[in-house]
């Protein structure tokens, strides 16, 4: 198998001319030429040239599901680390609890982990997140690991195929944050297998046939899959 469809590109590399092609994500234009702005994999769709990044910090987009770690509680809000270039604000109005002034610590405190959604990103990239949704909550038990945020799409797979396979064979509850964090709950053995699968996906992210290889890896010692 060749790498043809997954060409690695680097910053400053020329990718095409405008207007034949249109500049997409991860590119910039100078003198009608489209260049890559970061390390990534080339992806051309409907004349749009995109770069799918291979490395880099999480870049928050409104509506993203993220896993946050509470840094500190203030009287009216919490500061939450979501692995982005700056911490996010979780305002007391954005949680499902009735909180009296300065009572924030009772609900969430330093070191707590939450499954949240990006509520807003302003021009200077100030971030707000929310817990106001029935699928969002404080995470308890289980294990938390980090992964390269650019690998998110591979971990989920096409139409969630990858994550479903992982859940099926490990019988773990898994929540994947777009910000490069995964929460896993299950028995130690199951969690260990999830970790193996994630690390394989990370190191082989730009290859073909990954879903099959992950299924093989998990199948090997899975005896009682329903």
Partner 1 sequence: MTIVPIIKRDYIIKLAEQGKRIDGRDFNHYRKIEIETNVVNKAEGSARVKIGNTQVLCGIKMDIGEPFPDTPATGVMSTAAEFVPLASPDFESGPPREDAIELARVVDRGVRESQVIQLEKLCITPGEKVWLVFIDIHILDYDGNLFDAASLAALAALSTTKVPVSRFLKDLNEKDRTSWQKQILDLYTIPGVDEIPFGADEANKNPNPIQDFPLPMTEPPISCTAVKINDFILFDPCFDEEVIADVRLTVATDHNGDIRAMQKGLSGSFSKEEIQKVIKGALDNGKEVRKTLKDVVSS
Partner 2 sequence: MKSDIELIDTEGKRNDGRGPQDIRKIKIEAGVLHRADGSCYLEWGGNKVLVAVYGPREAVPRHTQNPLKAIVQARYNMAAFSVEDRKRPGPDRRSVEISKVISEALEKIVLTDQFPRASIDVCIEVLDAEAGTRCAGLTAAGVALIDAGIPMRDIPVACAAGKINGQVVLDLGKEEDNFGDADLPIAISPRTGEVLLLQMDGHLTYEEFNEAFDLAVKGCHMVSEIQKKAIMDKYQTAAAEVNE
Number of residues that bind partner 1 (CB under 8 A): 17
Binding track, positions 118-157, relative to partner 2; x by CB under 8 A: -----xxxx-----------------------x-------
Contacting residue, 17, 20, 29, 55, with partner 2 by CB under 8 A: 55
Cα three-residue angle 121-60-160, rounded to 5 degrees: 135
Distance, in Å, from the CA atom of 37 to the CA atom of 185, rounded to the nearest integer, reads 38
121 touching partner 1, by CB under 8 A = no
- The nearest distance, CB 115 to partner 1, in angstroms, is 12
Distance, in Å, from the CA atom of 140 to the CA atom of 60, rounded to the nearest integer, reads 24
Biggest CA–CA distance in the chain, Å, is 61
Give the binding site for partner 1 (CB under 8 A): 69-71, 81, 110-113, 139-144, 183, 188, 192
Give the binding site for partner 2 (CB under 8 A): 1-3, 6, 8, 10-12, 26, 28, 35, 37-39, 53-57, 85-87, 123-126, 150, 203-204, 206-208
């Amino acid at each position: 198998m060749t790498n043809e469809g997954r060409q690695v590109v680097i910053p400053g590399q020329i990718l095409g001319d405008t207007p034949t092609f249109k500049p997409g994500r991860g590119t910039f234009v100078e003198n009608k030429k489209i260049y890559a702005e970061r390390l990534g994999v080339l992806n051309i769709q409907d004349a749009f040239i995109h770069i799918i990044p291979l490395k880099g910090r999480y870049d928050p987009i409104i509506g993203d599901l993220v896993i946050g770690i509470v840094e500190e509680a203030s009287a009216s809000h919490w500061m939450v680390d979501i692995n982005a270039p700056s911490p996010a604000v979780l305002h007391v109005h954005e949680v499902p609890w009735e909180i009296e002034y300065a009572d924030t610590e009772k609900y969430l405190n330093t070191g707590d982990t939450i499954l949240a959604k990006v509520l807003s990103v302003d021009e200077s990239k100030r971030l707000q997140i929310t817990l106001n949704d029935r699928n969002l909550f404080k995470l308890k038990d289980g294990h938390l690991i980090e992964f390269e945020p650019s690998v998110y799409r591979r971990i989920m797979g096409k139409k969630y195929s990858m994550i479903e396979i992982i859940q099926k064979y490990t019988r773990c509850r898994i929540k994947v944050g777009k910000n490069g964090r995964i929460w896993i709950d299950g028995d130690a053995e199951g969690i260990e297998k999830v970790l193996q699968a994630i690390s394989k996906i990370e190191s082989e992210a730009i290859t073909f046939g990954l879903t099959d290889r992950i299924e093989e890896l998990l199948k090997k010692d899975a005896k009682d899959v329903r």
